[in-house]
Structure 1
Amino acid sequence: MQSSIADGVPSTEEQEKWLADALALVQHHAFYMHRALDNNNLRDALKFSAQMLAELRTSKLSPQKYYELYMKTFDELRMLEVFFREETKRGCTNAYLYELVQHAGNILPRLYLLCTVGSVYIKSKDAPAKEVLKDLVEMCRGIQHPIRGLFLRSYLSQISKDKLPDAASEFEGEGGTVVDAVEFVIQNFTEMNKLWVRMQHQAVL
């Protein structure tokens, strides 16, 4: 006998509980991440930030509830980005950081960390913006779950919007051209559109 449609739809109370549990774990891991940041402990900062970001792997939350979880981790990633910039001032190269975060255990935390370091990498101009952006937009294809993929690409858009090699941008020239900037935006948008269609098809909305 088939279950009714309602049987497969989580209640509001269930959604609230799942979200509360996830937010509590994000806060827990963020606490230890902050401690590592204060101690300039790069390894622990990466470990606890990856554990924090692992909460975004959930498939239990609706897009609306997932957004709340995403915004909490987004705020924490801002702090991590500042830490990465400070690490480069202490002698750690952007290339090393970019390589190091790719060893994070799970692909979703790895890509969030990679985008965060990538933002610092582009800002430093140690590598051409077009090359880093091309790398990031391609690697984000590793997430094909519609909700997780959409929010990841939204994050990529957020961290890159002021770092495109656009006309009159500080990154134009050695960092790329307007054509490179347009190609990046279109490619990321195209991938987001595919995920959006998939989400509607799966009736996630």
Structure 2
Amino acid sequence: MNMRSQWQDKIDADPEHSYRYARRFKDLAASGADIDGEARLIDAMAPRGANILDAGCGAGRIAGYLAARGHHAYGVDIDKVLIEQARADFPDAEFTVGDLADPRFGAYDVIVCAGNVMTFLHPGTRRTVLANFYDQLATGNEHASRVVIGFGANRGYDFQEFLDDAAHTGLQLQAGYSTWELHPFTPESDFLVSVLVRAEDA
């Protein structure tokens, strides 16, 4: 069965897609737009000097922001072009080309998965990716390690289906918001930021 992600399909259909994506955020930053909302939230919830995984890191803006603030930030993305850009722009973070569905080893205080990454995954790999996040959370912390995932509605992954998949892998919703600025989530919300912990740590 073909388990290629939608992002891989986009790259195959348009080889310039990744370059435009990287330029888009540079242009937004140059225009004065706030592109660091996700990273500020993660910085606020993480202990100082935390191990943080930026899952589906793209061109590295979140991991780069966190590394600049003293965290041990690691980014992984399937897109080689974006990883090359991340390494060039944010040398204080560590970046790796990799598939989130592949088994990985780590002990992270926080795992962040922003930018609608979950909706680009092949549906057959979503639970595998969530299970990998569960396995990579650090244990024995004073405060439970967390997975923070944000994505929008109408992208082929229903919010309740996502929460059911997370629960199936042992991740339990600790809090849900409609924005990275922590506005309340309601049934009418078109975006979900979920803060998840291991069920046994809840």
TM value normalised by structure 1: 0.32
Q: Give the strand-richer structure, 1 or 2.
A: 2
The structure that has the greater radius of gyration is 1
Q: Give the helix-richer structure, 1 or 2.
A: 1
TM value normalised by structure 2: 0.32
